Amino acid sequence: MTATTDGSAEALPPRAASATTGSPIPATARDAPAETVEQVAARATERAVTHLLASQHSDGWWKGDLETNVTMDAEDLLLRQFLGILDDRTTQAAARWIRSQQREDGTWATFYGGPGELSTTIEAYVALRLAGDEPEAPHMEAASAWVRKEGGIASSRVFTRIWLALFGWWKWEDLPELPPELIHLPKWFPLNIYSFGCWARQTIVPLTVVSAYRPVRRAPFTLDELHTDPALPNPSSRPAPLTTWDGVFQRLDRALHAYRKVSLRPLRRGALNTCARWIIERQENDGCWGGIQPPAVYSIIALHLLGYDLDHPVMRAGLESLDRFAVWYEDGSRMIEACQSPVWDTCLAIIALADAGVRPDHPALVKAAEWMAAEQISRRGDWTVRRPRLPAGGWAFEFHNDNYPDIDDTAEVILALKRVAHPEPDRIASAVQRGVQWNLGMQSRNGAWGAFDVDNTSQFPNRLPFCDFGEVIDPPSADVTAHVVEMLAAVGKEHDPRTRRGVEWLLAEQEPNGSWFGRWGVNYIYGTGSVVPALIAAGIPASHPAIRRAVRWLESVQNADGGWGEDLRSYPDTSWVGRGASTASQTAWALLALLAAGEREGQAVERGVRWLAETQADDGSWDEPYFTGTGFPWDFSINYHLYRMVFPLTALGRYVHGEHPALEAGYRPREAA
């Protein structure tokens, strides 16, 4: 195969050599009867390599759009309205995007093809009211009627009602209390801020400030049309029995409301000052917080309430960082990304290209490895609360997020760096060694790995009335643990006792049907596609009963068209497990597991490979409107726009070239300590 970007790029010889010569065959002839599946796969791989190489940024990284739902866009407008900086161009561009995402029944969903969601619909509706859409307009009437049918604003989640309270559309006293004194709870206390996952922690601290001030900036209109009969009682006002944890925490919330009236002013003032320092210390060099949009929004509001004017350097940098989350489209619409994923996208792109046969010293791979090496984090972050003696060495997901490197990115970056023949091998080896040491140090007591923290497993935070939206803790997961195990095997630590503990945990976590739960991807297909290659890399034979059960499950859920797909509804509803429209990324995950399990010659693999080749676009890419990434299972879903490229290319490359050819062809760093 020959891939070209700014010149010729030699590749490792594929198994189907006859598919690598001659002129490109038109898309209509890709599946001609005379072509073997190997030839079809090689040709699809070549086209995908060319496309992916061409999309690399000049600085060496890759980044696809990260699409979530319109609450990001609505809350961006609400923030600007609250601060008094909302301009017409931004408003109309956001409104154009929000309107484009409305469903036929007038609602908004949290993922493509999903059902209408109440809080998302309310926030979208309010944003369009800010943009000037009249309540009598047909699309607005449809939305408000549906909201009323579903219980109105009173039935929405707490975060939505906080936004509405900022403008007087909801009463602060009817929201859960979140006192800033929480910042002073000792680290051993069950509900201290480090009991929460890092994403929740970064949001909760500024929200304690907002809760203390209870600001109201009166809006230019009312939202009477989104309320049901105000005489009806709010269901959330009736506490659960005291014999349940929910009942205990609901009464705790009532006690905190009472405490607000008698709290000592010096104590509260000290807590607010501590919160301010905590927030400012965690602002990244680019002005954002944690590289994600929600904590940045709430941090800006909190600091504004604490007296920081909009021209203060901290505020100015924070507001400028929010503009970098905006994706502008040719039609004039504007989508807000909840986060940006250049490190994740880049390491996955390197793995895909290397496994597809691009030579390990190709300039694109070397440049990408150079950029990733520079992104390694050397400063200490919140993870040191549980691991105070562990040296830094991880990688984060985003451009700037030095406070919160994550275990998943670190493992995949190391797997990517192993595939590159860098001209300074010792420097890369040193970076790999630090990363391996950091990941090993972040192992939880049960032998597995979470995403950001160690042993972040307390269920108490989930019980708080405030926490009614998404995951707020970070327990170990099968997909993250699998990536770490695969990485440890790649650096020669497959027999290390810590690796074996991870393997044992993974084997114990297998579902009765043979799959694994996918925490950070949708869902059981992602979990299984992550775990099987890791177990095989760690020395579990393909004949092992766990591997055979996984193979049988994947074969049983393959779609009639040859692909695989799983709907996000599999998180709350087991009838959806392994079921959904075929997608390029999920088909690739299934193929990665089957290939690792030695099923290359099987009918399921052949059908899956042909599906990828037949659905490939003329430019070498794949179309994938479905959301296959997970932020919070069911509650917050993600469409990583680069997943549709990197995972199919990895699967096709491994089919054409065999398992992990680049790990043998590329640079092999010295074993990490």
Residues tagged active-site: 408
Is the torsion defined by CA of 493, 495, 497, 502 positive or negative? positive
Q: Residue 258's Cα: distance from chain center in Å?
A: 38
Question: d(Cα 378, Cα 16) in Å, to the nearest integer?
Answer: 44
Query: How far is Cα 452 from Cα 425, in angstroms, rounded to an integer?
Result: 28
Owner of token pair 């990733």: 372
Give the number of C-alpha atoms closer than 13 A to the C-alpha of residue 70, restricted to the C-beta side: 30
- What does the alpha-carbon distance between residue 122 and residue 424 come to, in Å, rounded to a whole number? 54
On whether the CB atoms of residues 647 and 589 are closer than 8 A, the answer is yes
Q: How many residues does the chain have?
A: 673
As a whole number of angstroms, the distance between CA 59 and CA 375 comes to 12
Element (H, E) at 92: helix 88-100
AA letter at 322: L
Q: How far is CA 389 from CA 438, 441, 447, 608, in A?
A: 11, 9, 19, 47
Cβ pair 356, 660 in contact under 8 A: no
Q: How far is the C-alpha of 341 from the C-alpha of 375, rounded, in Å?
A: 13
Q: Could you give the maximum distance between any two Cα atoms of the chain, in Å?
A: 82
- Check: CB of residue 530 under 8 Å from CB of residue 589: yes
Q: Which structure tokens are listed for 594?
A: 């089957």
* CA distance linking residue 620 with residue 463, whole number of Å: 47
The CB density around residue 437, as the number of other CB atoms within 10 Å, is 17
Q: Which of 416, 528, 415 is nearest to 478 (CA)?
A: 528
